[in-house]
């Protein structure tokens, strides 16, 4: 698959969905649950420029994806310390889903970049 913008859209949808689930499944309705959807919307808004081949935007998307993947992985690991079992399970699930999706997206972007550089050397 040579369509990084599709991967970006999928990751955006995962972030939006996971964040909204986190917000509506928590009776406290924490405002911090909107961080992932906001990042997902930002990525979705930047993705058309990626599709057009804008390298600066592509690097920005990859950077945001990688940084947010690291943050969600840390949050998933730290969620084990939460006292309430249902809250702990929900946090681990949501942050793990976002982390795995981000890891997959980042891996795809890096693999595609390596493949492009390899093909440039052959040409």
**Residue 1 predicted with pLDDT over 80:** no
**Residue 67 predicted with pLDDT over 80:** yes
**Residue 84 predicted with pLDDT over 80:** yes
Task: With beta carbons less than 8 A apart as the criterion, state whether 98 and 18 touch.
Answer: yes
Q: Is the dihedral of CA 70, 31, 43, 98 positive or negative?
A: positive
Q: Against a cut of 0.85, is the pTM above it? A: yes
- Whole-number average pLDDT of the chain: 94
Q: What percent of the chain has pLDDT over 70?
A: 98
**Residue 123 predicted with pLDDT over 80:** no
How many Å apart are CA 101 and CA 24, to the nearest integer? 21
Q: What is the pLDDT of residues 95-111, one digit of tens each?
A: 999 999 999 999 999 99
- Locate 116 and state its tokens: 């492009």
**Residue 89 predicted with pLDDT over 70:** yes
How many Å apart are CA 78 and CA 92, to the nearest integer? 9
Instruction: Provide CB contacts within 8 A for 7, sequence distance 6+.
Output: 1, 104, 105, 108, 109
Q: Give the pLDDT score at 2.
A: 78
Counted domains in the chain? 1
How many Å apart are CA 19 and CA 33, to the nearest integer? 5
How many Å apart are CA 36 and CA 16, to the nearest integer? 6
Neighbouring C-beta atoms of residue 62, cutoff 10 Å: 20
Which one is predicted more confidently, 31 or 1?
Answer: 31
Q: Which domain holds residue 54?
A: 4-122
Q: Give the pLDDT score at 66.
A: 97
């Amino acid at each position: 698959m040579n369509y990084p913008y599709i991967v970006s859209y999928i990751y955006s949808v995962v972030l939006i969905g996971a964040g909204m689930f986190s917000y509506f499944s928590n009776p406290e309705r924490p405002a911090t649950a909107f961080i992932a959807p906001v990042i997902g919307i930002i990525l979705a808004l930047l993705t058309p420029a990626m599709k057009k081949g804008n390298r600066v935007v592509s690097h920005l998307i990859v950077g945001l994806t990688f940084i947010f993947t690291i943050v969600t992985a840390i949050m998933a690991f730290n969620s084990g310390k939460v006292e309430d079992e249902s809250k702990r399970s929900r946090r681990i699930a949501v942050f793990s889903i976002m982390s795995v999706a981000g890891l997959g997206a980042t891996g795809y972007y890096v693999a595609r970049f390596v493949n492009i550089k390899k093909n440039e050397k052959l040409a």
